[in-house]
Amino acid sequence: MYYNSIIETIGNTPLVKLNKVNKGIPGTILVKVEYFNPGNSMKDRMAIKMIEDAEKEGKLKPGGTIIEGTSGNTGMGLALAAISKGYKCIFTLADKQSKEKMDILRAVGAEVIVCPTNVSPDDPRSYYSVAKKLHEETPNSIYPNQYDNPANAKAHYETTGPEIWDQTEGKITHWAAGVGTGGSMCGTSRYLKEQNPSIVSVGIDSYGSVFKKYKETGKFDEKEIYPYLTEGIGEDILPKNVDFAMIDHFVKVTDKDSAIMTRRLAREEGLFCGWSCGAAVHGALEYAEEFLKEDDVMVIILPDHGTRYLGKIYNDDWMRDHGFLENNDYATAKNIIK
Ligand code: PMP
């Protein structure tokens, strides 16, 4: 038995029970481990869907170029799809994204353009604006725009949602995910709520992002926007893929709590995963501690793999520089014999 190309291996990722980091918290807490996808992140699911939709609509033609603003993972998914289908890729990334993500994209043949993080989205230097402009200037190119492209949420409606429903045999009561473009949270939530409207969805937001306040007040509050470090979640815009009706509650998580929980997932659960995974688990457990009952089943999505963050949250010096390791509880041991 074999696959015709690597993209056929996307999806059908395992669901794994948490055993340690949730000690004392009621309910069964399961994580959907998305680093089992070939690009090591859940974004493979929507990347292939965006490309196949563009092909069907006649927007993407042989020899075409895919140009996208990405925090790294969507780029990896697009690059894998582009390799097997014969397209070129150019990606714009904000300079806060990890070096590993940029190197990984270059390794799979993409051109990477690094843009400043702390400029407004409509600034011509922002990674959104640079991607749009390049698309306008490049013949036979597409700009999938994961923020507003319905194929993003649809991919999760068609794959992540049904997988979780089947894997829990319909017993899921709570669904939790970090929110960036909103595709994974909202597409999955829509499917799950169609199966059982009483399923509660919990969105994880970062401090420095507009989502939680917008959900609670209906107002876009610019005062909520300030720099933060966690990669992949939170936004300073309202993407069309964030459907607030599909998110019942938001929990905000700090960069430090996210980083420490990510280290704990690696060490205590053997889940060597990315920074937003720690954010999702920390936020979801905060919610669970207060609201879950013993019979409840919560599923939390873990978006990507730890290798992308070796230079940051898995690096003690980086952690200390950011004040995230002040009591050394989660430091790593280094023994070097010379
Ligand atoms: N975590 C990571 C590491 C990501 O790359 C993303 C995508 N921006 C997310 C979480 C959020 O997922 P979504 O875009 O589906 O909201």
- The C-alpha atoms of residue 337 and residue 332 are separated, in whole angstroms, by 16
**Angle in degrees, CA 234, 22, 300, rounded to 5:** 40
pLDDT of residue 291: 98
For 149, half-sphere exposure in the C-beta direction (CA atoms, 13 angstrom radius) is: 21
State what percent of residues in the chain have pLDDT above 90. 93
Nearest CA to ligand 1 atom 12: 180
Q: Hey, what amino acid is at 50?
A: M
Predicted complex ipTM? 0.99
Q: In terms of Cα–Cα distance, which of 75, 81, 124, 65 is closest to 98?
A: 75
CA dihedral over 96, 102, 104, 105, signed as positive or negative: positive
Mutate to test the pocket of ligand 1, among 76, 184, 261, 309 (most ligand atoms within 8 A of CB): 184
- The C-alpha atoms of residue 69 and residue 113 are separated, in whole angstroms, by 9
71 lines ligand 1 (CB under 6 A): yes
233 lines ligand 1 (CB under 6 A): yes
State what percent of residues in the chain have pLDDT above 70. 100
Task: Specify whether the backbone of 263 is left (phi greater than 0), alpha (psi in -120 to 50) or beta.
Answer: alpha
- The C-alpha atoms of residue 86 and residue 81 are separated, in whole angstroms, by 8
Active site residue 43: yes
**Angle in degrees, CA 137, 94, 132, rounded to 5:** 20
**What band does 314 get if pLDDT is binned at 50, 70 and 90?**
very high
Average pLDDT over residues 142-154: 97
How far, in Å, is the centroid of ligand 1 from the Cα of 180? 5
- pLDDT digit string (tens) for 6-54? 999 999 999 999 999 999 999 999 999 999 999 999 999 999 999 999 9
State the virtual CA torsion across 203, 211, 213, 247 in degrees, nearest 10.
-40
pTM of the predicted protein model: 0.96
182 lines ligand 1 (CB under 6 A): yes
Q: Which segments of the chain are extended strands (E)?
A: 15-17, 28-33, 65-69, 88-94, 111-115, 141-142, 174-178, 200-206, 249-253, 297-302
- Longest CA span, the chain: 62
- pLDDT digit string (tens) for 227-246? 999 999 999 999 999 999 99
185 lines ligand 1 (CB under 6 A): yes
**What band does 268 get if pLDDT is binned at 50, 70 and 90?**
very high
